[in-house]
Structure 1
Amino acid sequence: MSNPFARASYLLAAHTPRQLPPDGGAEVAFAGRSNAGKSSALNALCQQNALARVSKTPGRTQQLVYFGLPPHEGKYLVDLPGYGYAKVPLALREHWQAFIDQWFQDRFALRGLVVVMDIRHPLKEYDLQMLGYAMRRGLPAHALLTKADKLSRGAAGNVVQTVRRQLAASWGDSVGVQAFSAEARTGVEELRRVVAGWLEL
């Protein structure tokens, strides 16, 4: 299938609510612990090597970064700040907590949330907190278990089943779960189908 994300391009980075684009389009957010592979997943989704910056330094993303999807006016991918990194100053962490809280509660354009987790360390406290934001809003969410190439196929499948069971116990079938590897291009088409469906592309 053709890739509706292939022409994605950087639009803006918002550090405060007033820097956000008008709240009338459709957006899908990507969240994840620092170094879970969020930037690599976005790059693989869009078939671009450097759309989202991949950093060896955890916590590099310090804004809500918006990518536009031409020719689809008002449709965006949103890269949320990497979370769970202790060296971010407390004042900045508190600023982000308040900003993200408000954004999740009030952002009408939000259509779904992809929570990126290293398949070897899934469902940490921050991951569950992010999924909780989506569930409280009644939004669909998708657990993207990255770096699946680091495990055997059988082991990766077992983690997917375990995560699926744990999430179903709390939220039924509201959260999709899949294995993913940007390196091996595993699960890229599945992720595209999910996100394109939410954005009605």
Structure 2
Amino acid sequence: MSCTDLEDDEEQETSGEYVPSPSTIIYIKHGENEEFMVNINSAVLHILDYVKIKLGLPKEDTVDLCDVNGSLKLLFLVKLPFDSATKLLLPQESYYICRVLRGDAGPGQEKSFRLIQPMLTTPSQQLLDTLQGQCAYLEKIRLRMLKQKDSKKLLMSDSMTVSTPTVSPHGRRTSGRASAEEEKPQKKDAKSVKSKTSDLGKRERHR
């Protein structure tokens, strides 16, 4: 179901022609006691797009829903955004729209979590505190994942440095360990040549 279908549902319900099934409807609250209905049979991505259209938000904005206690549903982070929202949202429940403000000055901060703002005219302080606590937690997880990613890159870089091939005296490309092993036979060969040369010298003197 697309955003157009969601709009059609609302128009039909207002005109009295069609009333969506209560088992698939949630109530989205915003502004000053304003609300509209959404069918949770729709894809998560379509619901988020529809919410932005209803509130006149830019398409590139990140939004989410939270319940009346301030618990975020994290719809903007789902791995399968085209799946139905029925597993994430409960029918007949009320939800608030929240803007997720991301990005900050400085390299590596483009995806940082700065603020989660409920789209209500007069949100309670408890709701604001709860949302900001979750915002801080999301940022903590983001930084941890970023650190793990950097560590993996460093390990891969070290691994490539250790296994970098070198050129042996014979012109073959080989690892540092292999070239060291090749040097040992060369030393033995040198001793053997020196010994043979010495033997030849002794024979010449005996003649």
- The question of a shared fold, defined as TM-score above 0.5 by the shorter chain, is answered with no
How high is the TM-score relative to the length of structure 2?
Answer: 0.21
How high is the TM-score relative to the length of structure 1?
Answer: 0.22
Greater helix proportion: 2
Greater strand proportion: 1
Q: Which protein has the larger Cα radius of gyration, Structure 1 or Structure 2?
A: 2
Q: Which has the higher contact order (CA 8 A, sep 6+)?
A: 1
